[in-house]
Amino acid sequence: MAQVGNGTARPVLEVEGITKTFPGVVANDNVSLTLNQGEIHCLLGENGAGKSTLMNMVFGLYRPDSGTIRVRGEEVHFEDSGEAIARGIGMVHQHFQLIPVFSVAENIILGNEITKGAFLDLDTARRQVDALADRYGLAVDPDAIVGDLSVGEQQRVELVKALFRDADILILDEPTAVLTPGEVDDFFEVVESLTGQDKSIIFITHKLREVLAVADRITVLRAGQVVGTTTAETATQQSLANLMVGRDVVFRVEKAEPDPGKSVIRVEDLRVTDDRGVETVSGFDVEVRAGEIFGIAGVEGNGQRELVETICGMRPAIGGRVEMLGQDTTGWSPRKIHELGVAHVPENRSKHGVVAQYSIADNLVLNRYNHRKFSQRGVRNTAAINAEAKELVERFDVRTPGVEAAIHTLSGGNQQKVIVARELTGDLRALVVAQPTRGLDVGSIEFIHRKIIELRDQGVAVLLVSAELDEILSLSDRIGVLYRGRLAGTVEATEATREELGLLMATGAQS
Amino acid sequence: MNGVGNANAGVGRAASQVHRFLNEVWRLQPLYVSLYAILLSFVVGGVLISIIGVNPFTAYWALLRGMVGGGDQIAGSVARSVPFIGSALALAFAFRAGLFNIGAEGQLLAGGVTAAFVGALSWMSDLPGIVAIPLILIAGTMGGAIWGGIPGVLRAKTGAHEVISTIMLNSLVLFGVRWMVNSRDPVVLRDTDSTVPRTDPISETAVLPELVDSQPTLHVGLFALVGICFVVAFLLNRTTFGFEVGTVGLNPHASHYAGINVNRVIVASMAVSGSFAGLAAASEISGTNGFFQPGTFFLMGFDGIAIALLARTNPVAIIAAALLWGSMLSGAPLMQQEADVSIDVVRIIQAMVLLFVAADAIVRYLFRVRELDQSPFKATSIEGAV
């Protein structure tokens, strides 16, 4: 392909007037977008704005109702993703399509196997993978087993897989959602080196900081329509957020000075093992007082999950103790701890937070279904449950056609609002929240943050665990860093800096 | 090549016409696949019958008359179906809790032998029927509940999968009762006055009243088992316990998080599940046989799997599915007699029903039935949730 001089934009992908409707919903409404060669084009929008739908059409997974798609000037009508791949389009999905028990090389050639007679020619595959990895600076070991790789490495495998199929238009669907801050930086370097070699990239995200860091141009979608196209130079986080949400967004959460009372949660020398029996919490201490938010920062996998589950009674401790409201609650059942006035917003929304097939109403009473209000003599009071659900849906602004709809029909953000509504209701003394806004859009994040602060102001002790440093910084009154199962250091939120916390997260040592 | 293609298209068109008609007239959305699976199985069975040189319409006409051709046939068909309600209910209840209870076969035997043992106790004849009959039914129910509860406890305490442990428990009880009933030295449960291996006859007072003197006898057990279906429907859909069972079945992790004692629900569900098989067996011992013979409930537990799946685990639909199942078996002898088509053909049709229900993609494709719960949000919202 001929090299194009700087400044002359040559479109490799043109989407024009695309409309796609699903029963009852217009997912894309007359959407147009142009991707130029060597460009990083960010597709920004809230959950449910239609980003993935649009890209699934470009990748041949859906067919548009109307509108045209042109690849290098030629109109295309993909019947399936195979045809899109043949045209040089590659897509890295949010959830990797890799087989964990296969090696990197095997995964990369899967569906495109290099064979020698009836046998796989893995030597050639290995050489080709190495060559690709070298050329694009994507360090992957072709012989490593995918299941043993970190999430960041698996993502590189996905990229190499797309490049192996000669993709030069790459669609990356929320690629940073699963990465640690360090991995995100590495990833951006890779993406930029790719554009240096004539690859053109569509980057789907809802994280504003990333958009400004990496994008050349930005297209913002809202409710299936393009509401603006701009460049990274002229846009600001504020202007993008306002475009995305359609109103002014407050970033810095307004909150009063904390007024901490007596100790509510006290954890002493806690030791916990994970599912494989590896000790991931090893001697953790913390004290959270009424009316304060204690934020726990840390790279994921340093014991956060086990810590939270043990405090809430879901996982046994192998040593140490948990005390809540002056009582030793170590080894208590989740229900007993909940009855004490301890709410828990779980880290894993679909695994623990909701029963996907249940209605919104049933999910809203998932931990209170047996209370006298909702069940008399063992018979459920559906009228009371639905009345409560309607009230909560209203109060927490859950966007749904009705409380009897199955919860999996809601977007991730609205599902999370249902969980938050359920947990933040009732007579609370303590709140344990893990990754409360993961994968959510700006509007929902703002809403959930406000609710957490409201509870703090009412004297609830809040333990917040989050991988988002921004979230920890803007909500917490005190911040602890979890490093290899221990509290590596505690700082007052007013004195904390990103740099100091980042260092603690990476090394466990204070500067 | 072309001819086959045209024929295929024709069948497909006809099938989707059928679907449109049912859709507009009856609104049977959740049971479409089951209805079409039955239809399809009879069509394939008809092809089979014509291959062996019999007019399938003649055969099916005889089958139909054997099933519902007169009062006696209808009563016999219903009587044959009654125990299937219990074994299917056992499967359906466990399914709701996310458990695959392959052990209904064994739970029937455990319930049946317990009922026969209690029914033959010497003091039973001193009791009035109003006491003796509930007693024998409760004894059978308990026998099934215990035999079902054991794999539940094993699952909860050791993580042993219930599919494996129920299969093992099936063998245990199958050969256990066979020995107990066969053995003459020592005599365990064998009626030594009888030439065939069976238990002592139960007391007259413990016999369920007869409704129709059909073949087999239609007795009051019908009301017990049909009644239980409605009780279970209420239990699953309206009670707190039913909510716990359903929650554990759909998402045990979320159940644990929400404070439900998952292990207790598993044990309780397996015991309740086994109790339905036990009740079915007791009602047969009391109302039909009057004693226990090792082969009595042969395949009844496994047929329960098919019936429960055919009814999509809906307790009320189980009544209809069990009726169909039992009547087909009850009508088959007339088909054999008149059309000279083996009873096994009915068994083959039944096996195909199960196959088509399990592999529902075939039926959905042929009849153009869309997957339930199809929502454009499904893919994206669940992705966003991880």
Give the mean pLDDT of A33-42.
93
Which pLDDT score, from 0 to 100, does residue B28 have? 52
> Residue A415: its chain B contacts at CB < 8 A?
381, 384-385
Sign of CA dihedral A285, A289, A291, A292: negative
> Which neighbouring-strand residues pair with B193?
none
Altogether, the residues listed in chain B come to a count of 386
> Residue B382: its chain A contacts at CB < 8 A?
350, 356, 408
User: Beta strands A293-297 and A319-324: pairing type?
Assistant: unpaired
In terms of Cβ atoms closer than 10 Å to its own Cβ (0-12, 13-18, 19+), residue A351 is: middle
HEC secondary structure over A123-154:
HHHHHHHHHHHHHHCCCCCCCCEHHHCCHHHH
| Spatial separation of the C-alpha atoms in residues B297 and B106, rounded to whole Å | 9
Answer whether B253 sits within 8 Å of A352, measured CB to CB.
yes
Local confidence band at B381 (pLDDT 50, 70, 90 cut-offs) = very low
**pLDDT-wise least confident of A288-292, A440-444, B69-73, B253-257:** A440-444
**pLDDT-wise least confident of A42-56, A70-84, A385-399:** A42-56
Of A52, A338, A367, the CB nearest to B380: A52
**3-state DSSP assignment of residue B251:** coil
**pLDDT-wise least confident of A139-148, A257-266, B211-220:** A139-148
B239 to chain A, minimum CA–CA distance in Å? Answer: 4
Q: What is the DSSP string of A240-294?
A: HHHHHHSS----SPP-PPP---SEEEEEEEEEEE-TTS-EEEEEEEEEEETT-EE
Suggest the residue from B251, B262, B370, B374 to mutate for an interface test with chain A (most A CBs closer than 10 A): B251
Answer whether B259 sits within 8 Å of A375, measured CB to CB.
no
> Residue A406: its chain B contacts at CB < 8 A?
373
Give the mean pLDDT of A259-271.
93
Strands of A93-208, DSSP E: 115-116, 119-120, 169-173, 200-205
Which pLDDT score, from 0 to 100, does residue B9 have? 64
| Spatial separation of the C-alpha atoms in residues A464 and A227, rounded to whole Å | 34
| Half-sphere CA count of A327, side-chain side, radius 13 A | 11
Which pLDDT score, from 0 to 100, does residue B90 have? 97
Answer whether A333 sits within 8 Å of B384, measured CB to CB.
no
Answer whether B254 sits within 8 Å of A53, measured CB to CB.
no
3-state helix, strand, coil in chain B (%, to 5): 75, 5, 20
Structural domains of chain A sorted by starting position, each given as residue range(s) with its CATH number in brackets: 10-88+168-187+197-249 (3.40.50.300), 93-166 (no CATH), 263-507 (3.40.50.300)
Both tokens assigned to A87: 């045209």
Both tokens assigned to B323: 């009726």
| pTM, 2 dp | 0.77
Answer whether B247 sits within 8 Å of A358, measured CB to CB.
yes
Residue A7 clears pLDDT 60, i.e. is over it: no
Which pLDDT score, from 0 to 100, does residue B24 have? 55
Which pLDDT score, from 0 to 100, does residue A433 have? 96
| Half-sphere CA count of A201, side-chain side, radius 13 A | 28
Answer whether A355 sits within 8 Å of B247, measured CB to CB.
yes
A371-387 residue pLDDT tens: 999 999 999 999 999 99
Which pLDDT score, from 0 to 100, does residue B76 have? 95
Task: Delimit the domains of chain B by residue range.
Answer: 82-323
What are the counts of helices (DSSP H) followed by strands (DSSP E) for chain B?
A: 16, 2
Which pLDDT score, from 0 to 100, does residue B178 have? 95
Q: Say if A255 is an interface residue toward chain B (CB within 8 Å).
A: no
Nearest to A218 by CA among A198, A200, A203, A197: A203
What b/e readout covers A42-56, taking b as 16+ CB neighbours within 10 angstroms?
A: bbbbbbbbbbbbbbb
Check: CB of residue B249 under 8 Å from CB of residue B242: no
> Residue A357: its chain B contacts at CB < 8 A?
250
Residue type (1 letter), A362: D
Give the mean pLDDT of B195-203.
93
Phi, psi (deg, nearest 5) at residue B322: -65, -40
| Half-sphere CA count of B41, side-chain side, radius 13 A | 24
Element (H, E) at A297: strand A293-297
Nearest CA in chain A to B258: A367
Local confidence band at A298 (pLDDT 50, 70, 90 cut-offs) = confident
Between residues 55 and 94 of chain B, which touch chain A (CB distance below 8 Å)? none
Both tokens assigned to A174: 């929320």
Residue A503 clears pLDDT 90, i.e. is over it: no
A70-120 residue pLDDT tens: 999 999 999 888 899 999 999 988 778 888 889 888 888 887 777 777 777
Which pLDDT score, from 0 to 100, does residue B23 have? 59
More confident residue, B225 or A8: B225
User: Beta strands A342-345 and A430-434: pairing type?
Assistant: parallel
Q: Say if B371 is an interface residue toward chain A (CB within 8 Å).
A: no
Phi, psi (deg, nearest 5) at residue B138: -65, -40
> Residue A380: its chain B contacts at CB < 8 A?
238-240, 242-243
Suggest the residue from B95, B237, B241, B243 to mutate for an interface test with chain A (most A CBs closer than 10 A): B243
Q: State how far Cα B16 lies from the chain centre.
A: 30
In terms of Cβ atoms closer than 10 Å to its own Cβ (0-12, 13-18, 19+), residue B121 is: middle
Local confidence band at B22 (pLDDT 50, 70, 90 cut-offs) = low
Which pLDDT score, from 0 to 100, does residue A64 have? 92
Phi, psi (deg, nearest 5) at residue A73: 85, -10
Residue A239 neighbours by CB distance under 10 Å: 14
More confident residue, A395 or A411: A395
> Residue B313: its chain A contacts at CB < 8 A?
none
Local confidence band at A368 (pLDDT 50, 70, 90 cut-offs) = very high
| Spatial separation of the C-alpha atoms in residues B362 and A153, rounded to whole Å | 40
Residue B368 clears pLDDT 90, i.e. is over it: no
Strands of chain B, DSSP E: 210-212, 218-219
Residue A144 clears pLDDT 50, i.e. is over it: yes
Which pLDDT score, from 0 to 100, does residue B11 have? 67
Local confidence band at A300 (pLDDT 50, 70, 90 cut-offs) = confident
Nearest to B352 by CA among B31, B87, B37, B8: B37
Local confidence band at B386 (pLDDT 50, 70, 90 cut-offs) = very low
Of B240, B251, B377, the CB nearest to A380: B240
More confident residue, A200 or A210: A200
A445-462 residue pLDDT tens: 888 999 999 999 999 999
Mean pLDDT score across all residues of chain A: 87
Which pLDDT score, from 0 to 100, does residue B59 have? 95
Of B258, B376, B384, the CB nearest to A23: B376
Q: Say if B238 is an interface residue toward chain A (CB within 8 Å).
A: yes
| Spatial separation of the C-alpha atoms in residues B318 and A493, rounded to whole Å | 62
Q: Say if A97 is an interface residue toward chain B (CB within 8 Å).
A: no
Which pLDDT score, from 0 to 100, does residue B230 have? 95
> Which neighbouring-strand residues pair with A270?
A284
Local confidence band at A4 (pLDDT 50, 70, 90 cut-offs) = very low
Nearest CA in chain A to B250: A355
Angle in degrees, CA B251, A50, A219, rounded to 5: 135
A355 to chain B, minimum CA–CA distance in Å? Answer: 6
What radius of gyration do chain B's Cα atoms show? 23
| Spatial separation of the C-alpha atoms in residues B166 and B99, rounded to whole Å | 11
> Residue B231: its chain A contacts at CB < 8 A?
none
Which pLDDT score, from 0 to 100, does residue A264 have? 95
What are the angstrom distances between the C-alpha of B201 and each of B189, B279, B292? Answer: 11, 18, 8
Residue A243 clears pLDDT 70, i.e. is over it: yes
